[in-house]
């Protein structure tokens, strides 16, 4: 089993996906949660995650999961905080983990998420 997974890695298969721009983030989320209509999109500077807000006061956490994207939609407010310039947003699910977003306006966004957006 380990050998097969190792061969997949050796062949260069998979690899974490990245988001080139906000449009790609919206597109990736639309495929996962078609009913979510984003009003604002905040993209990680490295393109490995995004945070999107809609008019209904909900926030979508979009992050890489292996070679694919995974998302959670949560209501505001959220227990967001900033560490080392990174916004950290818990999903509330231990197995899904938290969203990490590197952004120059991380502190401002954290404050908005802690209130009502």
**Site residues (CB under 8 A) for other proteins?**
1-2, 4-9, 11-15, 17, 31-32, 34-35, 63, 65-68, 70-72, 91, 93, 95-97
CB of 50 to other proteins, least distance (A): 14
CB of 32 to other proteins, least distance (A): 7
CA–CA dist 105, 114 (Å, integer): 14
CB of 41 to other proteins, least distance (A): 20
Please tell me whether residue 74 adopts helix, strand or coil conformation. Answer: strand
90 has which bridge partners? 98
Closer CB to other proteins, 88 or 107, in the complex: 88
CB of 106 to other proteins, least distance (A): 22
CA–CA dist 108, 78 (Å, integer): 14
Which token pair is 7? 């061969």
> Comparing C-alpha atoms, which of 89, 91, 85 is closest to residue 112?
89
Cα→Cα distances 105→15, 16, 69, Å = 28, 24, 23
């Amino acid at each position: 089993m380990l050998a097969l997974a190792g061969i997949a890695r050796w062949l260069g298969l998979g690899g974490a996906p990245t988001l080139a721009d906000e449009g790609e983030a919206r597109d990736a989320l639309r495929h996962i949660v078609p009913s979510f209509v984003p009003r604002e999109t905040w993209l990680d500077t490295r393109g490995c995650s995004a945070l999107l807000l809609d008019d209904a006061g909900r926030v979508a956490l979009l992050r890489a999961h292996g070679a694919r994207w995974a998302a959670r939609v949560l209501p505001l407010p959220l227990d967001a905080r900033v560490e080392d310039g990174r916004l950290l947003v818990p999903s509330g699910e231990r197995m899904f983990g938290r969203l990490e977003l590197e952004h120059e306006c991380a502190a401002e966004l954290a404050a908005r998420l802690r209130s009502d957006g």
